[in-house]
Structure 1
Amino acid sequence: MDQQNMEQYWNYLRSMGLSEEAIEMYKKQVDLTSNWAGQLNQFSQNMQQFNQLFTGDDADAEGDDQPTELLLNDNTQLTKEQQWAIGCGADVAFTNEQFLNDLTTGLGKQTCRQLLSEWWDIDSTEELEEMIAWLKESGHRMEYDLIWQALNTVSVKESKAFLREHVIANKLEEQTVMEHMRNTRDALELFREKALIDPVAQPEMLIWDYARIINLSRGGFDAGYFTREQALEHIMEVVPAIKRVYVSWKHLSISYQFARCVWNGVDEDEFEVFRKNMELLLTDPRSPWVTLAW
C-alpha cells in the first residue's frame, strides 16, 4: 500500500474522531510487509464496533438500514427512575439497536471487553473507575469551555492565540483543539440555521460526557467489570446534574447532537439521520422519552 493511500486512511480515522494518540498506535501495529488489506479491513470493523457502542457514529448512518423500531426489554427489572437515567443515553442506544430501558447493552461480555480494551485502554474495574471519574470531574467540557471563550474574543487571530496559550497550560494537543474550534463554528452555523439552539446562548456540553458515563457503565456491566449495583450507582449519580442543566428530552438530544458535531465534525447527512431518530424517540408511543416524563 503506497504512502498516499496510507495517509488517506489516517485522515479517515481522524474524520471519525480518533485521537492522534490512537492513530499512532495503529501505525505501530500495521505491518506494511504482510496483509495490509486484511489489517485495514479489520481496523475498519473495529472502528465501527467502537462507534456503535460508545459514540453513536455508525459508519452506515447514511444508509437505508437504520433502525425504525425501538428495542425494549419487556422483562427489565429496572425501576422507572433507573429507566429514565438509561434513557439519557438513548441517542446512541437507539441508533445502535441496544435496549432503551435496561442496563445491559445486549452486545455480550467478550465484545464489550474487547471494545473497552482497544478503544479506552480499560481492562479492569480500576481503569473503568478512573475513566468515569475523569468524565465526571472534567471530561471534554474543559476543552469546550476554552473553545467557547476563544470564539468570543475579538478576532480569529486572537482566538487562536488564546487557545494556544491554554493548550500549553493544560497540556492539550493544539491541532486537535484547533480542529474542534472549527467544528464548533460549523456546528453553531448549522444548528442556528435549523433553529435548534438559541442564537446567542452557549450550547451545553454536559451530556456529551455524561452519556459516556452511562454507556461505559452499561458496557462495564456487560463486560463483568461492574456489578449491577456498581453500574447503576454511577448512572444514577449523573441524573441530578442532567436534570439541572436540561429542561426536556429534546433539549438533551439537541445538546448531544451538537457536541457530537464539535468532536467529530459536521456531516449534514449524519446530522439528518440523528435528527430523524430524535423525532422518532420523541413521538413513538413506546419510547422512554414518551412514557417517562421529563
Structure 2
Amino acid sequence: MIENILSQVPSPVWLAIFFVALALVSNRIKTAINRSKGAAPAPQDVRKAGQESEWNDLNEHHTPHLRGTRSSMTTDPTARLLAPSFPYALCNGDTLNVLSVSDPAATKEMLKRDWDITDRKQLLRQLYSLLRDGHREDFAFLRKRCANQSWAEAEISRLRKTADVSTQDWERLWQIHRFQANDRGLQSLEFAAWDFIRAANLTRAGASAGWLSEDEAFDTLAAINRALQSYYSSWDETWEAFRTTRWLWAAEGQAREAANDLHDRNRGEFLLGKNGVWTAIPWDAPYPAPRFLLLDALGEIGALRLLSSANWEDASAWERDLDTQARTRAPMSIGGKPIVN
C-alpha cells in the first residue's frame, strides 16, 4: 500500500523533497563547522529582543581564519605572540596566527583615518604612547577626580550649562556619571588592556605598511604580551578590561551602546567560548623575551621620554620596566641630563 502511495507522488514533488532535505543537511553541516570555529547560537535574551539576525551576522563577521588548526596554536610561539591582536584581527578578517593582514591597502587607510599615522616615525611614537601611558592614564585621572564629589558636581553643572555641548563635552559628562555610579565596576577596573590590545593591532598594521620589520613587529608583540601579563592573570580578565574600557571610551548614546555590547558579546564568544581562539592558547604559554627593539628605533629619532622621580612613584610595574629599558637607550640633552617628564 505504501509503495502504491509513493509511486503516485509526482516527480517534481520528489525533486522538491530532495532539495529541501539537501538544504537541511547542508545547513546542519555549516552550523557544525561554524560552532567548531567558535560560533554560538543566539542566546535566549538576544532572540527575545529580536536580534537573532544581527547575532548571526556577527557570527559571520567574527568567524576566525587560521593557518592550520585551532589546536596547533597551543604550542605555537607565533600564535602566542599574536594573541593580543586577535580581537581586531577577528573583525578585520585577518588570519589570526599570521603577521600579515588580509587587506593591506584598507589597513593603511585605517592608520591614516583613525590614527593620523602616515609614516614610520608617527607609528613608532603612537606605539610608544600606548605602551607608556595611553588612555589608561586619562581614565585613571578622571576616576580620581570623580572621587571628589564637589569637583564632580561642579564639572557636571558646568557641562550642562554649555549652550552648544560638543561631542567631547558630552562624552566627558557621560563618563563622569558612569564613574559616580561605579557602572560596570569602573572603580576597580584596570584600563590597560584597551591600550595594549590596540597597540597589538597597530603593530600588525604597521608591519603590513612596511613601517616595522618582521623582527621589530614580533619583538613589539613580545613586549605587549609582557605588559598584559604584568596587569592581568588570564585572557578572561584581559577581555573584561578591554571591552569595558572600550565601552567607557565610546560614550556614543544608548542605541550605539547596545550595538557595541552585542558586538563585543559575540566577539567574546569567539575569543573565550567553548571553541574560542584564546582558550586554545595557555595564558602562561612561553614566548621569546622582548629585546625592546621599538625603544632602539625611538632612541634613533630622539623620541624617548623618561619618567620623572615623581611620576616613577606612581608608575605601574610595567611602566617602570619600560622606563628602565628606555634609560639604557635614552640620548642625553645638551646639558648632559636625560630628557624626563
TM-score normalised over the length of structure 1: 0.63
CA gap 1:284/1:188 in 2 versus in 1, 3 angstroms: farther
CA gap 1:91/1:112 in 2 versus in 1, 3 angstroms: closer
1:157 paired residue number: 153
Query: Which residue identity is paired with 1:234?
Result: T
2:175 paired residue number: 183
2:189 paired residue number: 203
Distance in 2, matches of 1:95 and 1:209, equals 17
1:16-27 correspondence to structure 2 within 5 Å: none
Distance in 2, matches of 1:207 and 1:234, equals 15
Q: Cα offset for 1:151?
A: 2.0
Determine whether 1:288 maps to 2:277. yes
CA gap 1:152/1:135 in 2 versus in 1, 3 angstroms: same
Secondary structure, in 3 states, of the residue corresponding to 2:134?
Answer: coil
1:114 paired residue number: 109
Distance in 2, matches of 1:73 and 1:228, equals 18
CA-to-aligned-CA distance 1:91-110 (integer Å, 9 cap, x gap): 222233222222122122x3
Task: Mark the runs of 5 or more structure 2 residues left unpaired by the alignment.
Answer: 1-52, 160-165, 284-341
| 8 A Cα contact 2:179 2:187, kept in partner | no
CA-to-aligned-CA distance 1:138-157 (integer Å, 9 cap, x gap): 21122111111122112432
* Sequence identity (%): 21
Secondary structure, in 3 states, of the residue corresponding to 1:226?
Answer: coil
How many correspondences in the alignment? 216
Query: Which residue identity is paired with 1:226?
Result: L
Q: Cα offset for 1:158?
A: 4.7
Task: Mark the runs of 5 or more structure 1 residues left unpaired by the alignment.
Answer: 1-60, 164-173
Determine whether 1:270 maps to 2:264. no
Determine whether 1:103 maps to 2:99. yes
Bigger radius of gyration among the two = 2
CA gap 1:274/1:158 in 2 versus in 1, 3 angstroms: same
Distance in 1, matches of 2:143 and 2:66, equals 38
Query: Which residue identity is paired with 1:72?
Result: L
Query: Which residue identity is paired with 1:74?
Result: G
Q: How much is the aligned-residue C-alpha RMSD, in angstroms?
A: 3.3
CA gap 1:180/1:231 in 2 versus in 1, 3 angstroms: farther
| 8 A Cα contact 2:203 2:220, kept in partner | yes
Match of 2:123 among 128, 135, 143: 128
Distance in 1, matches of 2:81 and 2:220, equals 10
| 8 A Cα contact 2:55 2:266, kept in partner | no
1:26-105 correspondence to structure 2 within 5 Å: 62=54, 64-68=56-60, 69-74=63-68, 80-105=76-101
1:234-253 correspondence to structure 2 within 5 Å: 234-253=220-239
Query: Which residue identity is paired with 1:179?
Result: E
Distance in 2, matches of 1:187 and 1:161, equals 16
Distance in 1, matches of 2:91 and 2:111, equals 19
Distance in 1, matches of 2:101 and 2:274, equals 21
Secondary structure, in 3 states, of the residue corresponding to 1:112?
Answer: helix
